[in-house]
Amino acid sequence: MAQAYMTETGSGGSGPDRRGSRLRRLCDGLRGDRGIWRRGTVVAVLAVIVGLVMLLHAQIPNRVGNLGSLTETFLPWLGVVLVPLLLLLALVRRSATALVAVLLPAAIWLNLFGGLLGDKTGGGGDLMVATHNVNAENPDPVGTARDVAASGAQVLALEELTASAVPVYEKALAPAYPYHAVVGTVALWSKYPMTGVEAVDIKLGWKRAMRATLTTPEGKVAVYVAHMPSVRVKLEAGFTARQRDTSADALGEAIADEKLNRVILLGDLNGTMNDRSLNAVTSQMRSTQGAAGSGFGFSWPASFPMARIDQIMVRDVEPVSSWTLPRTGSDHLPVAARVKFAPSAS
């Protein structure tokens, strides 16, 4: 019996004692490794650089290729991709210096985006709104219209409408929405009466933004629909966004001059909430995704969403929940939100 007992628990076994001895040997090996603090200098330097880029992103100048805006557009991915990679390299190098250095970008990323990781969605709400860049080359506009109408949104904004596609969407959405207005390449459908429809000049020379007053059971609300100019990343010019930035400033001025307190902005802004160039808009409105969403809510490209450039923003309206809708025939995902109205003097 003594021999059997030794066979089960001795050095040839696979129980807790053996695993514990392996861990002790590893720790003893690391303690005896005099190079543990000297190795991994390159990885440590890279970790510090990534951390500083995230911490000081607002200081990166836009003068050369709008580098600051480009960095801010994909800022969350610096932590999602680079921090795990740097951690892996630090472990491979068995470097304590690199491991400690990786804590810097990890902590900064959590400070910037950790609040988005939780689920802040709530129930109820007075109004459900949705917005969708339907893509001018959408091969299935009827199916796209059917899908977004099935979401149950009481207010629906569409962007990038072509003249030939407008009648298709009008016919498909008519059963669900008795009121609608089309201004240039943007449009608004509503279950509630719509007045005061007008184009908003965003300095493009053609119509890609509009405003309307909706009369809901909870009162009036100004709804803006906008499609900011596209941005491009070019080798010779960097992140070209000057026209988008000019349009964002003009949209911000229009919203600042809005006489109604309650404002909802729906549209494709071709920029994220981190992009300083949208400050004229973002400084005076709240993002529903940031306030009442779950996760980042990336909306583009639909095949592998990497950025939240389709936005629902509010002023004097309380976000309750925010989410992306299933993919349609577009290269963007539709986004939706529920909001509730606080008492308003207007």
HEC sequence for 116-171: HHCECCCCCCCEEEEEEECCCCCCCHHHHHHHHHCCCCCEEEEECCCCCCHHHHHH
Q: Return the pLDDT at 20.
A: 61
Instruction: Answer whether residue 7 shows pLDDT above 50.
Output: no
Q: What value does the mean pLDDT of the chain take?
A: 89
Instruction: Answer whether residue 27 shows pLDDT above 60.
Output: no
Instruction: Answer whether residue 166 shows pLDDT above 90.
Output: yes
186 touches 158 (CB < 8 A):
yes
Dist CA 35 CA 38 (whole Å): 5
In the predicted model, what is the mean pLDDT of residues 27-54? 83
Percent of the chain at pLDDT > 90 equals 76
Instruction: Answer whether residue 285 shows pLDDT above 90.
Output: yes
294-297 long-range Cβ contacts below 8 angstroms, 24+ apart? 294/118, 294/119, 294/120, 294/121, 294/323, 295/116, 295/117, 296/76, 296/113, 296/116, 297/322, 297/323, 297/324, 297/335
Dist CA 163 CA 77 (whole Å): 37
295-313 residue pLDDT tens: 999 999 999 999 999 999 9
Dist CA 44 CA 51 (whole Å): 11
Choose between 34 and 316: higher pLDDT.
316
Domain with CATH 3.60.10.10 in the chain: 127-341
Q: Return the pLDDT at 236.
A: 46
- Assigned architecture for domain 127-341: 4-Layer Sandwich (3.60)
Q: Characterize the bridge pairing of strands 209-216 and 219-227.
A: antiparallel
Among the residue ranges 23-27, 178-182, 257-261, 320-324, the one predicted with the least confidence is 23-27
Dist CA 211 CA 223 (whole Å): 6
Among the residue ranges 27-36, 85-94, 187-196, 269-278, the one predicted with the least confidence is 27-36
Dist CA 318 CA 341 (whole Å): 6
In the predicted model, what is the mean pLDDT of residues 4-17? 49
